[in-house]
């Protein structure tokens, strides 16, 4: 039998991270060689420990999992990436794949399948949650323009138009116009709903 597969774990919730480590450690052919809780710690730690596969959560402080995927692929091209996330948002899958991920799994897949997914990714295969794959094709990429995305992102916290205008250095009229466009494109009936829809589709990544 060959060397065990070296795995790096990245998840912001320490409890979940530790639990996943315990789960994977049950498999004789897998070793967890590193654990990190922030996206910006992924690359430094990967350089140090040279993992074969990195298991990255999408929701992380510092750098989200998608950005961390891109950074890791650039820094260590031989390291495979398996993205894991809580929410089955179609946009996440698309963005993850564009960033160079080798696999994508949502957190409500059965626990027994995770080790198998790691093995498949390590073997060079692509692993994609099948239910999500169909949905991704249906919803497609973001229809939002760059500025519209900026404005929606800023609107998440619930400020007034004046606040957004100040934060983005735009006139209030402009902000209203971008919001209006975003509302139209998302099919929403007001700002709050547009934010919710865009967020659910994963169109607001990048803080």
Q: Which residue, 25 or 171, is less far from a second copy as judged by CB?
A: 25
Name the segment binding DNA (CB under 7 A); options: 5-13, 82-90, 113-121, 146-154.
146-154
Cα 42–Cα 45–Cα 50 angle in degrees, nearest 5: 110
Which runs of consecutive H residues, i.e. helices, occur in 31-145? 42-49, 65-75, 90-98, 112-122, 130-139
Q: What are phi and psi of 45, to 5 degrees?
A: -70, -35
Q: Segment 91-130, which members bind a second copy (CB under 8 A)? A: 105-112, 114
Q: Segment 44-83, which members bind a second copy (CB under 8 A)? A: none
Quick check: 59 and 12 in contact, CB under 8 A? yes
Binding characters for DNA, 186-205, by CB under 7 A (x = yes): ----xxx-------------
- Out of 29, 98, 193, 207, point to the residue binding a second copy (CB under 8 A): 193
186 Rama class: left (phi>0) / alpha (psi -120 to 50) / beta: alpha
- Out of 174, 197, 199, 200, point to the residue binding DNA (CB under 7 A): 174
2 touches DNA by CB under 7 A: no
**Cα distance between residue 19 and residue 22, in whole Å:** 5
Interacting residues with a second copy (CB under 8 A): 12-23, 25-26, 37, 84, 86, 105-112, 114, 155, 157-160, 188-196
């Amino acid at each position: 039998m060959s060397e065990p597969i070296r795995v790096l774990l990245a998840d912001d919730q320490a409890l979940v991270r530790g639990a996943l480590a315990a789960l994977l450690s049950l498999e004789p052919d897998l070793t967890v060689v590193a654990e990190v809780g922030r996206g910006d710690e992924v690359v430094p730690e990967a350089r140090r420990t040279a993992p074969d596969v990195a298991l990255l959560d999408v929701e992380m402080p510092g750098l989200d999992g998608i950005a961390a995927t891109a950074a890791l692929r650039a820094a260590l091209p031989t390291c495979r990436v398996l993205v894991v996330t809580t929410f089955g948002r179609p946009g996440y899958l698309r963005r993850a794949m564009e960033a160079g991920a080798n696999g994508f799994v949502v957190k409500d897949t059965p626990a027994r399948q995770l080790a198998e997914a790691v093995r498949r990714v390590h073997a060079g295969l692509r692993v994609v949650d099948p239910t999500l794959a169909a949905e991704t094709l249906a919803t497609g990429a973001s229809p939002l323009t760059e500025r519209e995305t900026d404005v929606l992102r800023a609107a998440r916290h619930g400020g007034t138009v004046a606040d957004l205008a100040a934060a983005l250095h735009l006139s209030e009229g402009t902000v209203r116009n971008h919001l209006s466009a975003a509302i139209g494109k998302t099919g929403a009936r007001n700002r709050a709903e547009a934010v919710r829809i865009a967020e659910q589709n994963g169109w607001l990544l990048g803080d």
